[in-house]
A and B are shown apart, each in its own frame.
Chain A
Amino acid sequence: MPVYSISHVENVRVCVVMVGLPARGKSLIAQKIVRYLSWLSINSKCFNVGNYRRQLAGTEDINAAFFDSNNAEGLKYRREAIDNAVTDMMKWFSDENGVVGILDATNSTRERRDRILKLCRENLIEPMFLESFCDDDELILQNILDVKTTSPDYVDKDNEFATQDFLQRIKFYEEIYETMDQATDSDLTFIKLVNVNSQIILNRIESYLESRIVYYVMNLHIKPRCIWLSRHGESEYNLTGQIGGDSNLSDRGMRYAKKLPDLVLKSLGEENKHTNLTVWTSTLKRTQQTASFLPYKKKLQWKALDELDAGECDGMTYEEIENKFPEDFKARDDDKYEYRYKGGESYRDIVIRLEPIIMELERQENILIITHQAVLRCLYAYFMNVPQEESPWMSIPLHTLIKLEPRAYSTLVSRIKADIPAVSTYKEKGTSQLGEASGPNISKSRDLIKDSDVV
């Protein structure tokens, strides 16, 4: 039985065609959309034409002159690059049941956009143009600083050279650039973001999925902020190896709760120690007890942050489950993301219930979330783009504070251990015993979080 989170997407296919000069944040927006939709199990992929071009032409001799519209060789490479990207995208739509494909390129001329438009219509794919328009020099320069430090085109190149060269490249594009406008393009579905959202034009948004993408883009903000994630302290059920329930913290769990305010302060650093955080917890006792010593005033409980509901297995140990429901036990190990406990939930169900609050989370600034293993895996997967097959197998140790710092093109992770012992609640595939084994069968993402920097 298919379950749709965002929209009934089995028929709808959307091609998001990015439009805009270089250094307008197109790639950032494209990546964010892909991350958001993939997390919602909507098959989406970004096709970055720059990468195709680099594959064809290398990066050795790339400088601004390559992008001169009079440079025949450069033009040839660039045409080929976009053709390849479009071909791959169409193949992906048909062979891999793609739902939202994003063509990340400047697509700066109407002629180019027309070709993509027709191709989409031929294939019953809804084209949606997303233009990022900016004529505020300060914003552009700021963005160039960002791009130049991350773009593969400028690896090992001198800073000053990179800036100048990039500005020249933009000039070449400007010569041929045709912006989207209401009169000529009134028949198209398009979004035009002017100067980082100070003006937005939305034309003919015709499906819920499209409106959701627009809403998401509107809510992205680029203010620096941090997100802290923590599991609740060790609970009484953790000690006995039972899952679910609504038990109290163990003595060691209580010690963690008492230490948590200090850990947060340490993570904030001396100069930011007065930063005010918002604290989110689940409705279960163990997360509230964990949050109870934090001095912050804004505390919110969310049902959506409650632990995965194990249905009939609630309160059992893995051993008991294996004995009582051997088939279910195996089915869950085979496909942990999709497996739904009898009368309970699957990981996918958690993502669906988190959907309405993820937008709330995007708009928040500094926030600390105290929740449970499965929910934390889902949240972490959202921020770090961990694929579905892997996210349920990540090990997230107790008594550890994880800090995420979203940056333009990546998210930095660090963690602080509380140095208070706790049991392991990690279960390897194929066993009912808890604890992290070693050997060839361990999930490749198990140690994802543990390998991140320890502060």
Chain B
Amino acid sequence: MSTTSAIDSDDEGGELFNGFGSAPMSRSTSQKRTSKRWSFHNNTRPNLQDMPSAASIARRLSDITGEDGVHEEMSVSVLGGGQLYSTESGRLFHAGKIIISLAGLPGRGKTHLSVSLTRYLRWLGVKTHSFHLGNYRRASAEDDITHDLFVPSPNSKKANDIRNKIVNECLSDILNFFKNDKGQVAIYDAVNALPEYRLELHQRFKELNIQVLFIESLVTDDSIIMKNMEEAARSSPDYLSWDYQKAYKDYSERIKTLTPYYKEMGAEKESELSYIKFINFGERIELHNSNYGYLINKVVFYLMNSRIKSGSVFFARCYKNSLEYTQDPPLDEEGLKYSRDLAATLFDHLKSQGKHYIKELDEIKERLRPLAPARTLSVEERHPAAGVDGVDINSLVVWTSVKQRTVETTKFFAERNVKIRHRIQLSQKNPGIVGGLSEEEIEQKFPNEYDHYQRDPYHYRFSRSESYHDLAIKIEPLILEMERMSGDILIIADDTILKVFYGYLMSCSCYDIPYLNFSTDEIIEVKFNAYSNSATRIPITSHEK
């Protein structure tokens, strides 16, 4: 329990809060606003409808396999999908401005950490950007990246100059982000090897009223480092068009050169600093001087659940979601075929990716013989938590809603021993009064409401309906659970729900989420990578019996 739950130094305290609702809260007459201020509900946010028509057509994203938006520059008005409210300063949770500075040797997953944190915080609506020192180095040194550029005190003057230049460039961009872009959290992805550096950073930003939180990534398990080195040699932008073996060798030399310089955090002189030690990717997390408040607690909650994922998230639409919201019929013949094809297509795909963990039907019959008496594991040692989904990299879990037809759709998965989880939060968006109406009919029947909806389809709520934003808040617990699972997940749901999940994974702005388009003849696969996620389509093919 923290005695100081929030740091109230920010200017947010006196601001007007805007919850996202059907109508802006009006101030009483005694509180007439004296000056025009930015808020979500006044007209300074992008007005999609009155934009040149070409632009508004371009926003209709029919191709959902676009780019991961996690590195996009944030315009002042972009809002995250799960943002609870807006404030005039653009900053949230009374948390002020924060720089999260990473620390750790190469190969410790810093980039992954900064990117996935950025994704989560942007989703919460916190204006976050990750600044990778490596990108600045690549821009400056181009072909001439020597190990000298990575150590804190390079031998050559030239390397030293370049080093100082890139650090300064990066830090001034960070300041700019706070100053001009209403940024709230900057994630500084660099090695930050020495206590003197870290103290200086702390001092420099403290003077500007920006809190500094360090997250130090430590790895004591060599197998994790090996895996990261392989990943870096394969996909790091430093090694574009390099031979894999050569890249691997270079990277391991880089780590070797840097290791003697690196000083772990926690020395006496650093006792003032606030830092989180993130050990073996979350196996242990230590918070020091952690009375930071809610936003950082959220970060820690995320860190507890964040895993380096090797599994994918698959999205499939549930059958017949044109049905009226309140109806709940069982699957018909067509639907049964769809379900069979869906399962078979996914199983084929997994196999083609070298994943052979789905059991064949005849194998399963074998296994359904009475099981051996349950507990033979030793009590002297630790075992994986019993009954937790997705611990095994080689596993598939299906999530779907509680509607009859989605329950029946999962039958072909269940018979292959795939775990099925039904969640009420995965039910389709409640359409309220416009249920069953086409866009044209809505426009005719409720012209006024339709106009509002057009302006902000993400937040606008027709009478009695849910907005996409309401869905986003509802599924937040599921997003964290999803992050925690190492294996594969298939989500079968209405496309309104899929859009929101996809929006999180690919960092879509909430202006784009309503226009994402999922079709019934394909599965979308989202793969996790350290620097950005990627999405691909898998056509559902007919698998007649």
Contact = CB atoms under 8 A, between A and B. Distances in A.
Interface stretch (A293-301, A397-405, A423-431, A439-447): A293-301
A356 B469 CA distance: 13
B177 to A, nearest CB: 26
A91 interface: no
Contacts of B474: 304, 353, 356
Contacts of A208: 305, 388, 480-481, 484
By size class, the interface of chain B is: 35 or more
Interface in A301-351: 301-304, 309, 311-312, 314, 342-343, 349
Contacts of A2: 422
Contacts of B350: none
B368 interface: no
A232 B185 CA distance: 38
Contacts of A187: 381-382
Interface string A1-16: 1111111101111000
Contact of B19 (A222, A293, A299): A299
A205 B304 contact: yes
A128 to B, nearest CB: 10
Nearest to B378: A121
B19 A360 contact: no
Nearest to B390: A208
Nearest to A139: B3
Contacts of A343: 325-327
Interface stretch (B198-206, B286-294, B438-446, B533-541): B286-294
A407 interface: no
Interface in B385-428: 385-389, 391, 402, 407, 421-425
Given A124-B375, A300-B19, A198 B290 contact: yes
A211 interface: yes
By size class, the interface of chain A is: 35 or more
A194 to B, nearest CB: 9
A11 B377 contact: no
A186 B279 CA distance: 12
Given A201-B285, A205-B285, A246-B464, 15 more contacts: A6-B477, A10-B387, A121-B379, A122-B379, A187-B382, A200-B290, A202-B300, A211-B305, A215-B300, A219-B5, A219-B297, A297-B14, A297-B27, A301-B20, A349-B424
Given A3-B422, A4-B423, A207-B385, A302 B325 contact: no
A202 B461 contact: no
A353 B379 CA distance: 39
27 contacts: A2-B422, A3-B402, A3-B423, A3-B424, A118-B380, A121-B377, A122-B379, A124-B386, A197-B1, A197-B2, A198-B291, A200-B286, A202-B284, A203-B285, A206-B388, A211-B301, A214-B301, A214-B304, A215-B300, A215-B301, A278-B17, A283-B22, A292-B26, A304-B470, A314-B464, A349-B424, A363-B6
B433 to A, nearest CB: 10
A196 B290 CA distance: 10
Contact of B290 (A25, A199, A292, A342): A199
Interface string A211-234: 110110111111100000000000
Contacts of A6: 477
